[in-house]
Amino acid sequence: MKGYVYGFTSNYSSSSSDQTTYYTDVYFKDNTNKTVYIRSCSSSSFVTDEVGDEVTVRYIKGKSEDGKITSFFFDFWGVAIILGAIGILPAVVGFMLAWNVAVDIFMKRNSKNFTKIIVADVTQVYVNQSLALNQKSPYIIEAEWIDKKTNESYIFLSEHIWEDPRSKVKDQILIKVDDENYNNYWMDISFLEKQ
């Protein structure tokens, strides 16, 4: 059903943003040729329509006062946008997991080129609560090493460990580092694979 914009109703909100929003006022003739005036359900801080613009109105016969102004964009793309937004979340989680695995593989392969081996003190073993797979979160070994020449402290984190390593972890752990950049390192956790 065709309707026409005849004005806008302003609404000042002092709750959060102290701004004025506008509801679109529309009239249309229903199936009984009665002129019905309705207001949009949502407001906006900017107005896209102008007085006299034609809009589409939907209503149930006999309940024209409950008519709704439809949006071509949302009617056409709404379901796709909502489903896409729902699908993005698992995709982001999957990408993060794949990224972590790729970085771990890259570091392990490049560890052959790391020239310096250091012995770092294990400071803690903790569960990484920010990641969960099948309701299980991985463990992380955190180790600290202090460069005696510069007195700088470096923190190293292991890759994700899916079995509890606390009974096998000692006070110190071997780490291979790139001598020029200590951010490139590989923590040797091969002792966890031994029975």
Segment 16-48, tens digit of pLDDT: 566 778 888 888 888 888 888 888 877 777 777
46 with 125, same domain: the answer is no
121 with 160, same domain: the answer is yes
Whether residue 117 has pLDDT greater than 70: yes
The answer to the question of residue 79 being in a domain is no
The answer to the question of residue 122 being in a domain is yes
Average pLDDT for 9-17? 70
What is the span of the domain harbouring residue 55? Answer: 2-74
- How many structural domains is the chain composed of? 2
Helix (H) or strand (E) holding 83: helix 72-110
Look up residue 6 and give its two tokens: 């005849």
CB 122 within 8 A of CB 171: yes
Look up residue 25 and give its two tokens: 């006022």
| pTM of the complete model | 0.49
54 with 119, same domain: the answer is no
Which residue among 54, 74, 94 closes a domain? 74
70 with 109, same domain: the answer is no
